Amino acid sequence: MISEKKVTVIALGGNAILKPGQRGTFDEQMANVKTTCEQLAQMVESGRYKIVITHGNGPQVGNILLQNETSKEVAAPMPLYVCGAQSQGLIGYMMQQTLHNLLAQKGKGSIPIATVVTQVVVDSKDRAFQNPTKPVGPFYDEEQAKILEREKGYHVREDAGRGWRRVVPSPDPIEIFEKEAIRQLVEARSIVIASGGGGIPIVREDGGLFGVDAVIDKDLAGERLAVDVEAKIFLILTDVEQVKLNYKTPQEKGLSHATLEEAKRYHAEGHFAKGSMEPKVRAAIRFIESGGERAIITSLDRAVDALEGKAGTTITN
């Protein structure tokens, strides 16, 4: 047993760090991180939860890729998986400092907080590698896109009328490689930030580990993390307060609670959009199937209410 407090893995959505329409300056991101960490600090202060944090990295890794691209003549560009590692450090730094400052104001500045650069093992035979679907990085015109396809072997695709983009595979996470190190930190009372951006995708080959250009869904990787730290609660914070059935139809209806069986049925019926809500519900289902107590999907500002059963969507056995 890791502790008597309820270990809770919190998966933060994109809007926790950058709001739609923002350019992504350091000050903008720090202001958003502060609002987010105020919620997290409340949870810590209540003394009821031991938190482990994971987060998305889409806009941040997008900007790092753009910086690599535009400065490639003067500074050597890095592979996508190294950009992913950079984004974990960037976001981890902002969060661990901000959370520390807020906790220190509440007299809890002695709680250790650490970010773990996290590798996540994927299967090189995962079907996703035959069918890259996840757009990453800058937009190109068709001609530039075709050059990248020829010269770098990128897969490129037209993205909803907005231009051409590189697409990469989105394989299923198998194992958080640093799980033992993370467990030890959690046991030693640290708040841990891990598996950012879904983790750095790696494969095991010939006895070694190697990075691969792919993007792992952060909610699915968050579920692996939750199981590894023996979390009781998996809290997915996004930009909607509740999961909806019959989403965007006249029959749309908020879902307050679902049993595992109900959640599986709704999932099979196709209520949740691929690439956004579907992986969250899939991750919640996997968590309960793996022995988790409660999976909650809600918005950042309702996190504390949702933990008390007063908001959001809760899935239990």
What positions carry a catalytic annotation? 14-15, 134, 218, 280
Our CB check for ligand ADP shows the closer of 118 and 238 to be 238
CB atoms within 10 A of CB 2: 15
List C-alpha distances in Å: 191 to 7, 148, 255: 10, 41, 31
Residue of 247, 264, 267, 301 interacting with ligand ADP (CB under 6 A) = 247
CA separation for the pair 57, 199 (Å, rounded): 10
State the binding string over 153-192 for ligand ADP (x if CB under 6 A, else -).
----------------------------------------
Closest approach of ligand ADP to the CB of residue 273, in Å: 4
Residues 6+ apart with CB under 8 A from 110: none
**164-168 and 155-158: which strand pairing?**
antiparallel
Closest by alpha carbon to 103, among 31, 47, 56, 19? 47
Residue of 271, 282, 286, 294 interacting with ligand ADP (CB under 6 A) = 271
Residue of 276, 301, 304, 316 interacting with ligand ADP (CB under 6 A) = 276
Residues 6+ apart with CB under 8 A from 155: 132, 149, 166, 167, 168
272 near ligand ADP (CB under 6 A): yes
Helices 277-289 and 260-269, interaxial angle, to 10°? 150
The residue sitting closest to ligand ADP, measured at its beta carbon, is: 13
18 near ligand ADP (CB under 6 A): no
270 near ligand ADP (CB under 6 A): no
Residue of 238, 298, 299, 314 interacting with ligand ADP (CB under 6 A) = 238
Our CB check for ligand ADP shows the closer of 54 and 140 to be 54
Residues 6+ apart with CB under 8 A from 208: none
Residues forming contacts to ligand ADP in the complex (CB under 6 A) are 13-14, 56, 238-240, 243-244, 247, 271-273, 276-277
